[in-house]
Structure formats: C-alpha cells, structure tokens
Amino acid sequence: MLLQNRTKQKEITKAINVSASTVSREKRHNSGVRRHYNWETAQANAVQIRRRKPRNRSVDKNGMEEAKRLLITEQWSPEQISGVLVKDGKYISHELIYRMIRKDNLYSYHKNPILRNQD
C-alpha cells in the first residue's frame, strides 16, 4: 500500500520497522515485468510458496529402527540408508539420520568420521 502511494523506501522502513534491504528485496521479488509493485500479486506468490513448502512429517518409529539397524549392521552411509528406505516407502532424510547418529553417539558405526561438537 505504501509503495503504491509512492512513499519513499526510507519512510516505509521506518513505518514497518525493517531494514532498507528487506523492503528493497520485497520490491524486487514482487515487481512485475514493468517493475511496478503489486501487493495482491506479492500476497498470491507468498501463499503459493507456503503451499509448496513441505510440511514437517512425523517419522515412523519402525523406519528409524530400520535406519539404526542398517547403520550398525551394514555400516551404510546415511544417504544410502535414506535411499533404501525410500524404496520401502519410509521417508527419512539423511539429515535426520545424521541427527540420530549424534544424539545416540553412534559415531563408531559410521564408515567416515563425523565431526563432533567441540563445546
């Protein structure tokens, strides 16, 4: 609304209490071919992006147990484990498997050394 009323960016940043770069980025991302900002288009784009974003899925306990078993017995990498489990219909990301390794101190079962926090 402020942009369509030809309010200066500096005044907009003060009014909504954000940095100038945020307003500039918003204007750049949501301006059309003619470089005119339209808030309705910006809102529609934001809603569309939010719909496409994957939701937090609950992880199947059996899938995590299977991942732990494959890590310990087969000594597969988290990427390999994730790929095999996807074929079985169990969706567990390799990042989640790395978190499990760190949480349960399963470093010794991983082929390559995983850096631990030095805190």
Can you give the three-state secondary structure of 11-28, one letter per residue?
HHHHHHCCCHHHHHHHHH
In angstroms, the CA 115 to CA 65 distance is 23
118 part of a folded domain: no
My answer on whether 41 and 65 are in the same domain is no
19 part of a folded domain: yes
My answer on whether 69 and 95 are in the same domain is yes
pLDDT tens digit sequence for 21-36: 998 888 888 887 777 8
Domain span at 87: 61-109
47 part of a folded domain: yes
Whole-model pTM: value is 0.47
How many structural domains are present in the chain? 2
State mean pLDDT over 89-105.
86
